[in-house]
Every structure is written in C-alpha cells, then in structure tokens.
C-alpha cells in the first residue's frame, strides 16, 4: 500500500510539473506563480479549520466513551491533504483540496474504510491476532480472532490469549492482543462478516 501511495505521489508530481509548464505558457509565469501561492494559502486555511473541527469531534467521542473511527480517518486524510497543499503545484493543490474539503472527504473516507481498513481488520481477525469490540467501551459484546464464546451478560468472541472461559463481554482487555474497539459505528466498516456470522463460526 505504501508503495502504491509513493508511486501515486511521484506520478502526480511529474504530471503537475508538466501541467505548470502548459499553464505558464498560456497565462504567463508570474500569474502561474501567484495562482500556486493563492491555492496554497487557501488550502492552509481550510486544513486549519477542518483540523480543529475534527479534533473537537474526536474529543467529544472520547468524552462519550465511543471509538472515534471516522474522526481518526478524517484526521489522516486532512494530514495527507495538507501535505499535498504545501507541495508547489496546481494538481497537487487540487488533490489536497479533495482530501480536506468535507463534501469530497466523506466518499474518500468511505472508500478508505471499505478497501483499506476493512481488509486489514479482516486479515487480522482471520489470523486470530486481534479482538474487535462491538458496542461502546465498557459494555456490549465483541469478537476477535479466535476463542470461545463470551461470558454471561452478552455474547462475544475472545482472542487467542484469553482464558478457557473466553473474554467477558464487559469490554475489559488484558492488553495482550491488539484490540480494535470500533464503537457503535462498527458496522460502517466492512470486515467481510457480521457479528451473527462471527458467532456461528
């Protein structure tokens, strides 16, 4: 994945350099430089505004004891968009705006969940190396890579290092495994199976 992102960045930089030559030939060198500076300034203001809003939502989620899944993904996209915006060029600035602007960031976040986060969690679950907790922190059942059913009070799946009785559904974790608590919006992430299918496994 990192290699693909690096290849994309290199190709985008090359295309941007060629595009700047074309634009400079049409409107002149100074207007082109001014346009690049203007888009970078506007982008930095947008990154600052969206970053603060995302941080407030993340703090609110934490106070409500909910997993800030969407907020963390938004933060990653905003950081990536900021990196594109500070890179001189028009195509890189356009890409940065797509990552930062809320109405274009939402579909990117959905795609990131479905094709990056979801497959990663599903692979870890199949390997039995993580636990995925459903429901808010401190309550609700959960399931992970392997193990027996959870204790009374809610069904769940325990990780490989849990005791013979499995992990309690109270949400306690011994910290031995990587634990992914996805909160109430856990089903937004397509991990390839539902909680009911996980119980039947």
8 Å CB contact between 131 and 145: yes
Within 10 Å of residue 167's Cβ, how many Cβ atoms? Answer: 29
Query: Using the 8-state DSSP alphabet, how is residue 60 labeled?
Result: H
Residue 123 resides in a domain: no
Residue 119 resides in a domain: no
In sequence order, what are the residues at sequence separation of 6 or more whose Cβ sits closer than 8 angstroms to the Cβ of residue 169?
A: 139, 140, 141, 142, 150, 151, 153, 154, 155, 156
Range of the domain at 31: 16-100
Regarding whether 137 and 72 lie in a shared domain, the answer is no
Residue 3 resides in a domain: no
What is the number of domains present in the chain? 2
Residue 149 resides in a domain: yes
pLDDT of residue 1: 56
Residue in 148, 180, 142, 177 with CA at minimum distance from that of residue 163: 148
**In degrees rounded to 5, what are phi and psi of residue 136?**
-75, 160
Q: What is the pLDDT of residues 60-102, one digit of tens each?
A: 999 999 888 899 999 999 999 999 998 888 999 999 999 999 9
Regarding whether 91 and 49 lie in a shared domain, the answer is yes
8 Å CB contact between 141 and 182: no
- The rounded distance, in Å, linking the Cα atoms of 154 and 9 is 47
- The Cα-based distances of 45 to 18, 40, 161 in angstroms read 27, 9, 47
Regarding whether 96 and 38 lie in a shared domain, the answer is yes
Residue corresponding to tokens 């950081």: 79
24 token code pair = 């400079």
Residue in 137, 136, 155, 153 with CA at minimum distance from that of residue 199: 155
Regarding whether 41 and 87 lie in a shared domain, the answer is yes
Residue 38 resides in a domain: yes
Residue 115 resides in a domain: no
- pLDDT tops 60 at residue 120: yes
Regarding whether 132 and 92 lie in a shared domain, the answer is no
Which tops the pLDDT comparison, 1 or 185? 1
Of 63, 85, 100, the last residue of a domain is: 100
State which of 8-12, 148-152, 165-169 shows the largest mean pLDDT: 8-12
Enter the pTM of the model.
0.61
Regarding whether 94 and 26 lie in a shared domain, the answer is yes
Of 83, 100, 117, the last residue of a domain is: 100
pLDDT of residue 136: 45
């Amino acid at each position: 994945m990192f290699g693909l992102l690096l290849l994309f960045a290199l190709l985008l930089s090359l295309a941007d350099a060629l595009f700047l030559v074309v634009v400079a030939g049409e409107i002149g060198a100074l207007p082109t430089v001014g346009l690049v500076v203007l888009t970078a300034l506007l982008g930095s203001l947008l990154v600052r505004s969206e970053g603060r809003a995302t941080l407030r939502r993340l703090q609110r989620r934490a106070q409500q004891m909910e997993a800030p899944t969407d907020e963390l993904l938004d933060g990653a996209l905003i950081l990536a968009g900021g990196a594109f915006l500070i890179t001189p060029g028009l195509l890189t600035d356009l890409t940065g705006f797509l990552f930062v602007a809320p109405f274009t960031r939402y579909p990117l976040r959905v795609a990131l969940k479905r094709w990056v986060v979801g497959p990663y969690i599903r692979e870890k679950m199949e390997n039995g190396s993580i636990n995925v907790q459903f429901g808010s922190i401190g309550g609700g059942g959960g399931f992970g890579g392997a193990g027996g059913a959870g204790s009374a009070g809610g069904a769940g799946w325990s990780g490989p290092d849990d005791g013979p009785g499995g992990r309690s559904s109270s949400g306690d974790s011994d910290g031995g495994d990587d634990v992914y608590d996805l909160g109430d919006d856990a089903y937004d992430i397509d991990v390839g199976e539902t909680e009911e299918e996980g119980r039947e496994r």
